[in-house]
Amino acid sequence: MQKIRNIAIIAHVDHGKTTLVDKILHACSIFRDNEQTGDLILDNNDLERERGITIVSKNVSVQYKDVKINIIDTPGHADFGGEVERVLKMADGVLLLCDAFEGAMPQTRFVTQKALALGLKPIVVVNKVDKENCRPEEVYEQIFELFFNLEATEDQLDFPVIYGSSKQGWMSTDWKVPTTDIFALLDTVVSTIPPAPTNDGTLQMQITSLDYSSFVGRIAIGRVHRGAIKENQPVTLIKRDGKVVKTRVKELYTFEGLGKIRTTEVKSGDICAVVGIDGFDIGDTIADFDAPEQLPVIKIDEPTMNMLFTINNSPFFGKEGKFVTSQRLRERLYKEMEKNLALKVIETESPDSYLVYGRGILHLSVLIETMRREGYEIQVGQPQVIVKEIDGQKCEPIETLIVDVPGEVAGKVIELVTQRKGELLVMEPKGDLQHLEFEIPSRGIIGLRNNVLTATAGEAIMAHRFKAYEPWKGTIPGRLNGVLVSMDKGNTTAYSIDKLQDRGRFFVDPGVDVYEGQIMGEHIRDNDLVVNIVKGKALTNMRASGTDDNTRIAPAIKFSLEEAMEYIQADEYIEITPLSMRLRKIYLTENERKINSKKFQ
């Protein structure tokens, strides 16, 4: 029997996965006593730390009572489901984390379904039992019901439950009896999760993840499914489409703690990193040199949304970014496709524009934000859902939307969702909140979050997941108000903004460079209005009799990238550079907009 356990940690976003991994790393003493580690050790890129979410799955390994436990920390957000689907292939069991108050959320259902379908053994961890209003017993019942509805096997339904608080660093089999450590969880992992199977025979290993090093290039990561892989061994790389490439393993690493250590041989069941194989993609199989056999290719759910990515052609192009050409944009998008399986890039009729398909607004915005930080200047269009024809009927993606909201504003939320063709399915109390469940077209969710948060004074908790393709639900009203568009190029003045405040709310401050066709703010009516925002006060050599008017300007509205993506309409772009984000019309002059207005109706 091998003393290896491979587990993936899955949960809805913000239920405490990465915090739990921190505590496991500390409990297994992989750090020196005087080492400064900080929190959320595995969320190691800037975007993950700023947003407080996991975007890319990570592998770590700990030693506990002479057993090696390989842990895979997965993202919790539905938009990164593609990341979860492929790494579950490396695991033999899953730790399903659940918040003791929130219970099973939409994303919990999504990843649990994938894990149960792969036949993985689950352990349920009811986390955050130190919270007020927590209801661990109810959550346990809810999880059991979820497993039953997802057609879990009898063995999977007989899952152990651990209660505790990752933040306070304790786990116990009884939530009323707190302990001082998390060893109850590690003991359960060792006793419940089946040991990694040893399959004798010729080599088979599927690449489920990749790493990059500036010294050795791309590194293939996966679990050895059968046989053993050795350093300097000649192997066959079988591509997803069945093409065969002869190659050789140069170096071999296994995971230990947060890093990797070099080794000469890895047997089946263990997770390893292979250096020296060129031209591989995720889902390819590394097989025996003489008698290669392919493993089943990883199937990833289809994307549900696309956006147009194009080069920056605004009057301010090239001022802030390093990479501004279409060649650079193309290279970067195709490079992203290698590791981001849920992403698809399609070339358009224009050599400067590409249609990028993704899982949702967050999935695409993380790509845009990463490119911006790398020095790219790009423009993106309005997100569009992907429409399919099924049995001769026009169909669109439908999502399950869950909103937890204070009771007194539940009516406003129901009104907003039903305006966008949403259908209320469930309404029940949950603690001091109302729990609402809807079915709504994906189109209806674009731009909904801002409206719901405004209507509920920021108190709504929203989550959604893709359900299925269903017949087209009809037209959904877009943005209710028009925009204020600049008619001239120059510096914005406080004088102009002050005089135009009764026309709408502004997105720019005084003293900012703007160009003709840039969107300055939101109009109070439903039509667009062209305004002169760069005009200064006419000065004379006469002394003013009495005091001049003091300008009092309302603070400018600042959008986040996701909010801007949800805000723009079909005839608008977001211009994104390393230092700025601007909203603009596709056609900058008023005359061009009138000529091309029919295109966007």
Q: Which residues are annotated as a binding site for GTP?
A: 14-19, 127-130
Q: With contact defined as beta carbons under 8 Å apart, do 139 and 96 qualify?
A: no
DSSP conformational letter for 186: H
CB atoms within 10 A of CB 191: 10
DSSP conformational letter for 184: H
- Burial pattern 149-158, b for ≥16 Cβ within 10 A else e, equals eeebeeebee
Tell me, what amino acid is at 384?
Q
Q: Rounded mean pLDDT of 98-108?
A: 77
Q: Which residues pair with 437 in a beta bridge?
A: 402, 426
Of the listed ranges 43-47, 184-188, 345-349, 489-493, the least confidently predicted one is 43-47
Sequence spans of domains, the chain: 4-192, 204-288, 388-471, 481-539+551-558
| SS3 call for 366 | helix
Q: With contact defined as beta carbons under 8 Å apart, do 116 and 151 qualify?
A: yes
User: Among 3.20.20.80, 2.60.40.10, 2.40.30.10, 1.10.10.10, what is the CATH number of 204-288?
Assistant: 2.40.30.10
Whole-angstrom Cα distance, residue 266 to residue 7?
A: 18
What is the predicted pLDDT for the residue at 581? 93
32 — pLDDT class (breaks 50, 70, 90)? very low
Of the listed ranges 5-14, 91-100, 404-413, the least confidently predicted one is 5-14
Please name the helix (run of DSSP H) or strand (run of DSSP E) that holds residue 91, with its range, or none: none
Is the pLDDT at 305 greater than 80? The verdict is yes
CB atoms within 10 A of CB 502: 7
110 — pLDDT class (breaks 50, 70, 90)? confident
User: Among 3.90.1150.10, 3.40.50.720, 3.10.20.30, 3.40.50.300, what is the CATH number of 4-192?
Assistant: 3.40.50.300
User: Which candidate, 403, 409, 405, 443, places its Cα nearest to that of 424?
Assistant: 403
Of the listed ranges 49-63, 124-138, 277-291, 540-554, the least confidently predicted one is 540-554
31 — pLDDT class (breaks 50, 70, 90)? very low
Q: With contact defined as beta carbons under 8 Å apart, do 503 and 523 qualify?
A: yes
User: Which candidate, 121, 167, 139, 143, places its Cα nearest to that of 8?
Assistant: 121
150-206 tens-digit pLDDT: 888 888 888 899 888 888 888 888 878 777 888 888 888 888 888 888 888 888 898
DSSP conformational letter for 44: -
Strands 378-380, 572-576: pairing is antiparallel
Whole-angstrom Cα distance, residue 479 to residue 559?
A: 15
Q: Which residues are annotated as a binding site?
A: 14-19, 127-130
Q: With contact defined as beta carbons under 8 Å apart, do 249 and 277 qualify?
A: yes
Residue 35: exposure state from Cβ atoms within 10 A (0-12, 13-18, ≥19): exposed
DSSP conformational letter for 518: B
What is the predicted pLDDT for the residue at 60? 83
Q: Rounded mean pLDDT of 435-449?
A: 88
- According to CATH, what is the number of the domain 388-471? 3.30.70.240
Taking the CA atoms of 526, 473, 405 and 447 in sequence, report the sign of the dihedral they define. negative
Give me the torsion for CA of 68, 72, 73, 76, rounded to 10°: -140
Q: Rounded mean pLDDT of 227-247?
A: 88
CATH H-level, domain 481-539+551-558: superfamily? bipa protein (2.40.50.250)
User: Which candidate, 517, 540, 511, places its Cα nearest to that of 590?
Assistant: 517
Is the pLDDT at 56 greater than 70? The verdict is no
484 — pLDDT class (breaks 50, 70, 90)? very high
Is the pLDDT at 46 greater than 80? The verdict is no
| SS3 call for 399 | strand
